[in-house]
């Protein structure tokens, strides 16, 4: 199988591809954060992802709803999830309570991550729904 540029496509996962980059180019820049000027190497980004994965207690097969803006944390979280086999559900930042609840119901996400308030919600969906109940009122979403 080949891609549009006639180069062979890879069968490797994001986790495998990133591990190869860390081994072959650990000190090359992987990410430059425009707003802060911070430059992150492949090795550092991988270490940060491992720390986040441990802190969140991520494990294979979980569903994580990512309600982050375009920031360094988004990249770290995506890599943390890829390294642990966690499925990422990307949520739109413009979502209000009804849209957010609808997306969470459809996705079945176990964890919701939000930033800049750095909220990590590891509660059940029913508990999350009750937390948002005053914003949504009695509106039924399907």
**Residue carrying the six token digits 């990307």:** 90
pLDDT, position 44: 92
Query: Residue 52 has which token pair?
Result: 């986040």
Give the domain extent around 127. 14-136
Cα distances (angstroms) measured from residue 105 to each of 60, 77, 78: 20, 21, 21
Beta carbons of 91 and 67 less than 8 angstroms apart:
yes
**Cβ neighbours of residue 80 closer than 8 Å, sequence gap 6 or more:** 49, 50, 52, 53, 56, 58, 86
Write down the pLDDT at residue 138: 41
pLDDT at position 33 is 87
Q: Is residue 118 part of a domain?
A: yes
pLDDT value at residue 34: 86
Query: In this structure, what CATH number is given to the domain that contains residue 22?
Result: 3.40.50.980
Task: Please give the tally of structural domains in the chain.
Answer: 1
Grouped pLDDT means (10 residues each) for the chain, 142 residues: 69 87 92 89 92 89 90 89 93 89 89 66 50 45 40
Which of 79, 67, 136, 76 minimizes the C-alpha distance to 104? Answer: 67
Residue 5 is assigned to a structural domain of this protein: no
The per-residue pLDDT for 3 is: 57
In a domain, 4, yes or no: no
């Amino acid at each position: 199988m080949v891609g549009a540029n006639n180069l062979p496509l890879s069968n490797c996962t994001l986790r495998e591809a990133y591990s190869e980059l860390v081994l072959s180019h650990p000190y090359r820049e992987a990410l430059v954060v425009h707003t802060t000027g911070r430059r992150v190497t492949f090795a550092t980004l991988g270490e940060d992802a491992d720390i986040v994965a441990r802190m969140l207690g991520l494990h294979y097969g979980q569903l994580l709803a990512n309600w982050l803006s375009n920031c360094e944390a988004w990249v770290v979280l995506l890599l943390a999830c890829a390294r642990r086999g966690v499925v990422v559900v990307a949520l739109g930042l413009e979502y209000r309570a009804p849209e957010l609840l609808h997306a969470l119901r459809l996705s079945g996400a176990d964890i919701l991550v939000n930033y800049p308030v750095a909220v990590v919600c590891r509660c059940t969906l029913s508990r999350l729904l009750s937390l948002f109940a005053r914003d949504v009122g009695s509106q039924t979403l399907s």
